[in-house]
Structure 1
Amino acid sequence: MGREPARGRPGMVTPKDRRPPSVDVRASAKINLHLGVGAARDDGFHPLETVYQAIGLHDELVATEADALRVVTHGAAYVDVDAVPAGADNIVARATALLATRLDRAAVADFLVHKEIPVAGGMAGGSADAAAALLALDRLWDAQTPDDELLAMAAELGSDVPFALIGGTALGTGRGEVVTPVADSGPWWWVVVPSAAGGLSTPAVYRRFDEMFPGADAQPAPADRLVEALATGDPQRLGAVLHNDLQEPALDLRPDLADLLDRGETEGAVRGLVSGSGPTCVFLAESPTAAHAVAAGLRGGGQEVVLVAAGPVPGAQVVEVG
């Protein structure tokens, strides 16, 4: 968790004493390099063993002191901001209520959220926003909450939120909320293709997993080989062991994604993979040059939105205190 702000931002001329205090936090998208899914437990959750990696695709959140709770969301042209839940269901509002309850104070702040992480795209954009909100408010309210307490609150908000705070590359167990950093000899270069046909519901993908694999093992597939490959720094070795148990059910729900995966590999990607529960697809490339070549090939084949990002990168970070 990065708590120190960058110093200054060019072009800002409004005197600080003429505007209320604010905190600007940036949080990263995640991809799952390994996602092993076990059979559903009695509580309905699936045990996971996953390897997360934060990549250089970000949402940015500015929290400002206010007398009410307001959340305004906008984003890049390819982001469906209308699909972001509103009101009390918004994860930024939920994070505010959770931290305010712990601190016994009013859950009030103005939030401006700029999204570059696709909505319902399997890249934990909502989790990134929740992590950003926790970190921004902790700084705005000068709460100095210990990291372990922030991580515990993050886990209450969602399985991916603790990783969104930490970033880098990490092993996730339990529901994914128990996060342990792992050695990573990257950087790794990724081509990211959000779905033009809309998002996939994570619960729907898990339901399809249960239907397709009624005899799934109680214990998820281990990530040992993936962790070993990360330590080598070799894209070919990493590509050979990328794994996602939710890819087959996601492709069953969205057969068009199989064609996209094939196309990316034809254009030179080491390997293509559905990100998390999808429908965003990611492609591992040998180098920055290779990543841009794959991206150009996909654009030439009709994909309107194709992004290039490196990983690992940090999790939620304060970039400015105003």
Structure 2
Amino acid sequence: MSVTVRVPAKVNVQLAVGGVRDDGYHDLANVFLAVGLYDEITVTPAESLTVTCTGPGADQVPLDRTNLAARAAELLAARYGIDPAVHVHIDKDIPVAGGMAGGSADGAGALLACDALWSTGASREELLGICAELGSDVPFSLVGGAALGTGRGERLTELPVGGAFHWVFAVAEGGLSTPAVYREFDRLNEGVDVPVPVASPLLLDALRTGDAGALAGALVNDLQPAALSLRPSLADTLRTGTDAGALAALVSGSGPTTAFLAKDAESAARISEVLIASSTCRTARVAEAPARGATIL
């Protein structure tokens, strides 16, 4: 017997970052939007906990107990007194280390798959609590759709979305360390009175009404200056996609993937072709949003 779960990538349409807290984290107003790029996680009973991975960037994915999918299995098993003896296989399609929560998606997917395999009967609230232990983005990977994350991003309020949004994601060569980007954010804002992060009413209204033009005018990522400071070449990618007709462009999360909001599917396809031909990124992917959260197949 095995269980397979499909889980989506995300883009942060607003990432408002507050000052560093005493615990080292930052308070956030993080508006997540799940997009139609997916990893598939399959769990199968085994003699011991093992992780394998295939797909683009699989060689960059850790296969030991630091992998969030393995940690998810261990946390759920510990809670219910179960031996976490499963083989977790990750079929990657979400860019690795790209600011699209691929590792978080794998954690959420493995958690839901193990819950089904072991028939634990865990409530949604219990699963979300374990997700929050795993990482700030993991709860949203379970929920999907659109949501506002507060605290360090783990406290979610689901948001209504009134239509489909068309995106292009330019995948950069190599990754960017999320902790390094936050450290650079702190360095760039040293001595600055960083405001308390709040969600933009204009952005929330654009999501609710499905208005791509209004959403384009409200996109913001407070980590973008830090990501560009560490990887200046991303500015060329952003400019290329904007010149190709994107309504708006921004770094996705902590990067280095860059995200381009398009008017429609045809525009998205054209922007993707231009980006791939430009040599300013490794490849480009087209996806619609919102997408469902972790789903058993």
Q: Secondary structure at the match of 1:47?
A: strand
Q: Secondary structure at the match of 2:21?
A: coil
Q: Which residue of 2 aligns with 1:212?
A: 188
Residue pair 2:275, 2:283 contacting (<8 A) in 1 also = no
Q: Which amino acid is 2:285 matched to?
A: L
Q: Which residue of 1 aligns with 2:293?
A: 315
Q: Which residue of 2 aligns with 1:44?
A: 24
Structure 2 distance, partners of 1:216, 1:190, is 34
Residue pair 1:61, 1:112 contacting (<8 A) in 2 also = yes
User: Size of the alignment, in residue pairs?
Assistant: 295
Q: Secondary structure at the match of 2:19?
A: coil
Q: Secondary structure at the match of 2:71?
A: helix
Q: Secondary structure at the match of 2:39?
A: strand
Residue number among 175, 178, 184 corresponding to 1:199 in the alignment: 175
> What's the C-alpha RMSD, in Å, of the aligned pairs?
1.0
Structure 2 distance, partners of 1:314, 1:176, is 19
Residue number among 298, 305, 315 corresponding to 2:275 in the alignment: 298
Q: Which amino acid is 1:307 matched to?
A: R
| Larger deviation, residues 120-129 vs 207-216 | 207-216
Residue pair 2:144, 2:294 contacting (<8 A) in 1 also = yes
1:120 matches 2:97: yes
Q: Which residue of 1 aligns with 2:139?
A: 162
Q: Which residue of 2 aligns with 1:108?
A: 85
Identity value in percent? 48
Greater relative contact order: 1 or 2 (C-alpha under 8 angstroms, separation 6 or more)?
1
Q: Which residue of 1 aligns with 2:12?
A: 32
Q: Secondary structure at the match of 1:93?
A: helix
- How far residue 105 of structure 1 moved from its aligned partner, in angstroms, is 1.2
Q: Which residue of 1 aligns with 2:3?
A: 23
Residue pair 2:200, 2:218 contacting (<8 A) in 1 also = no
- How far residue 304 of structure 1 moved from its aligned partner, in angstroms, is 4.1
- How far residue 216 of structure 1 moved from its aligned partner, in angstroms, is 4.0
TM-score (normalised: structure 2): 0.97
- How far residue 221 of structure 1 moved from its aligned partner, in angstroms, is 4.1
* Structure 2: tracts of 5 or more residues without a match: none
After superposition, the C-alpha distances for 1:170-228 in whole angstroms (9 at most, x for unaligned) are 111001000111111120000011112x0000000000000001224251143322101
Residue pair 1:35, 1:49 contacting (<8 A) in 2 also = yes
Structure 1 distance, partners of 2:162, 2:20, is 34
TM-score (normalised: structure 1): 0.90
* Structure 1: tracts of 5 or more residues without a match: 1-20
- How far residue 92 of structure 1 moved from its aligned partner, in angstroms, is 1.2
Q: Which residue of 2 aligns with 1:6?
A: none
Q: Secondary structure at the match of 2:209?
A: coil
| Larger deviation, residues 84-93 vs 305-314 | 84-93
After superposition, the C-alpha distances for 1:242-291 in whole angstroms (9 at most, x for unaligned) are 00000000001000001110110000000111000000001000000110
